[in-house]
Amino acid sequence: MDQTKNEHSVKQNPIVRLFLRHYGNTTCTISQEQYDREKFLFSKVKFNPWILMPAAVIVQFCVGSVYAWSVFNAPIDDAISGDIKISQAPVTFYIAFGMLGFTAALMGPWLERNGPKKALIVSSTAFYIGNLLSALAIYLKYIWLLYFGYGFIGGFGIGLSYITPVAILQKWFPHRRGLAAGVGVCGFGAGSIAVGKIILPIIRLVGLPLTFVVLGSSFFVAMICSALIFRVPEPNHFTKCVTDDKTDESETNATYSSQIKLTLKESLQSVDYFLLYITFFSNILFGLLVISRFSDMITKLFGMASNEASNLVAVNGIFNLFGRLFFSTLSDKIGRKPCFLILLITQMVIIGTFPYYVEHKIYWVFVLSMIVLSTCYGGGFGVLPAFLNDMFGSHNISVCYGLILTAWSFAAIVGGFVFTTVYNYLVATGSGELSDPHPYIINSYWILGFVTIGVIATSLVKSDLKDRLLPPFAGQWLRYRLFRNVIVIKRSGCCPQIEIISAKTYDEMWEEYCKHRHHSPSTKLDAELTCAI
């Protein structure tokens, strides 16, 4: 009775109904006539999916200019408040990335229903308006208008522009998911390379407010032209699965890829999705916070010239781009999970040694560490879309990817707030000098804790099909894959029992399981595959 009443109340709640309707309906509304028209790029020129890759890079390049925001910090603080120590401008960066994640989560189903062309037109317009409002905010000296314009409106445009190329490339190139993911996000890292170098010259030429008008107008034209190229594949477009374990991969894919089709609810409720959320959050936290202050750290902490800072922002962008392409391609060879472990463990080393080389002002070590950090930061973005596609299917990629990008928002908003609060407090109660390294060092301690948690979470992700489908062993408490072998921890009295299973034995168990399931009704197998992954 109570259950029936609860179900009735849920149905009557308009907010719940709206939520379920929005996230429950991801059916594309594109007609067959439009599919037929979009087989041609224009006139009689046939559409080739490979042209989507440069178009995706252009879109991501434009919105990726947000990574060069640290170059704006000092000029904006000086223009609005007249005090470069006040650190109000970096908050805009955190708001924009906060909106990016929440927009991606909110607009994922809408993107699936309406297609990439409409999504990119809307996002390009929002990003353009954000730049124009930023110019007005600086001219009127209203910091709140800058937060609203670039942070909220521009951040909305950035978020929708970010997920659209990534999701669409995953649908067009299922056989090259790692490459498609890397190309889909590499432009976002490339944006800071060129933009970071031209910001100061444009400011000197036309002034700070008009810089946003010039850049915003250029981005808008490029993004709209690219939007006209985007389209979705027809529903029967070929897809296949990729696993981290390369042993017998072709047989595994041939047998099960067509049967694995998780619902959105099952994907989002899985433990593996939660673990991937922690993995992604941990991988981007330090990089995101450092990128927003990278130029300031070079000039204020190490006393270098602003021109050198802008050069290093561009160099950092190059390695951000390199990380996205390199690790996404590498993940097609060694698997997504090993790539994330490499990225996180490398960051642990960088953050663990951060207090030493910052306190002793060892500049070359700092620069080298930040370059490696930027590579790891970009690598996570390159690997993640393919990882999600492997785990939960291309039909869920827009929503799953959009929702997991809220980790980006939390890293920007919560991480940025904690970092800024600790930093400002230590500067105010300490020496009061911007060259004091201790505010940065203290912040590195709590970030290191999150990265360590990320390593543990990544280790627990069941990325292999065998690990997700094979039934648990008798008395099993935890099953963990270490390279090719499998470690099983069993409950045994007061002390746990550890058993190591070789790859050969594990493969034999998998073959036996497949033979057993072969004699079961296909509907039962489908149900098991759906629930187990």
In a domain, residue 34? The reply is: no
pLDDT greater than 90 at residue 45? no
Tell me if 36 is assigned to some domain: no
Domain final residue pick, 463, 486, 518: 463
Q: How far apart are alpha carbons 157 and 172 in whole angstroms?
A: 23
Q: Computed over its alpha carbons, how large is the radius of gyration of the chain? A: 24
Examine residue 198 and state whether it is found in any structural domain, yes or no.
Answer: yes
HEC string for 415-438:
HHHHHHHHHHHHHHHCCCCCCCCH
Residue 518 lies in domain: 471-532
Whether residue 104 contacts residue 185, with contact meaning beta carbons closer than 8 Å, is answered with: no
Phi-psi region of 35 (alpha: psi -120 to 50; beta: other; left: phi over 0): alpha
158 is written with which tokens? 């950035």
**Residues 133, 278: one domain?**
yes
| Residues 343 and 426 both lie in one domain | yes
The answer to whether residue 293 is domain-embedded is yes
* Calpha distance 196→214 (Å, rounded): 14
Tell me which of 424 and 189 has the higher pLDDT.
424
Strands (E), 120-275: none
pLDDT at 217: 96
Confirm whether 317 is domain-assigned.
Answer: yes
Q: How confident is the model at residue 354 (pLDDT cuts 50, 70, 90)?
A: very high
Is the pLDDT reported for residue 20 higher than 70?
Answer: no
Q: Which of 463, 479, 506 corresponds to the end of one domain?
A: 463
Task: Point out the domain boundary residue: 432, 463, 494.
Answer: 463
* Domain co-membership, 457 together with 503: no
**Domain co-membership, 356 together with 486:** no
pLDDT grade for 236, boundaries at 50, 70 and 90: low
Residues 526, 424 share a domain: no
Query: Are residues 390 and 516 located together in one domain of the fold?
Result: no
Better-predicted residue by pLDDT, 212 or 246: 212
Residues 355 and 488 in one domain: no
pLDDT digits (tens, 9 = 90+) for 189-199: 677 777 878 88
Sheet containing 485-490, strands listed edge to edge, beginning at the edge strand earlier in sequence: 476-482, 485-490, 497-501
Ordered alpha helix ranges (H), 30-153: 32-37, 52-63, 70-80, 89-114, 116-140, 143-146
Q: Are residues 450 and 494 in the same domain?
A: no
Whether 115 is in a domain gets the answer yes
Number of structural domains, the chain?
Answer: 2
Asked if residue 12 belongs to a domain, the reply is no
Residue 322 maps to a domain: yes
191 and 317 in one domain?
Answer: yes
More confidently predicted of 222 and 171 = 222
Beta-bridge partner residues of 498: 489
Residue 249's pLDDT is: 40
Q: What is the pLDDT of residues 484-521, one digit of tens each?
A: 778 888 877 677 788 888 888 888 887 887 777 655 54
Closest CA to 383 of 341, 413, 422: 341
Same domain, 366 and 253: yes
Kindly state whether residues 158 and 81 are assigned to the same domain.
yes
Averaged confidence pLDDT in the chain: 80
Residue linked to tokens 């694995």:
260
Q: Label residues 324-355 b or e (16+ Cβ within 10 Å = b).
A: bbbbbbbbbeebbbbbbbbbbebbbebbeebb
Alpha-carbon distance 304 to 190, whole Å? 24
Provide the CATH number for the domain around residue 165: 1.20.1250.20
Q: 141 with 233, same domain? A: yes
Q: What is the pLDDT of residue 320?
A: 83
The per-residue pLDDT for 157 is: 95
The mean per-residue pLDDT over the stretch 104-133 comes to 90
Cβ atoms within 10 Å, residue 388 = 27
pLDDT at 471: 78
pLDDT of 448: 94
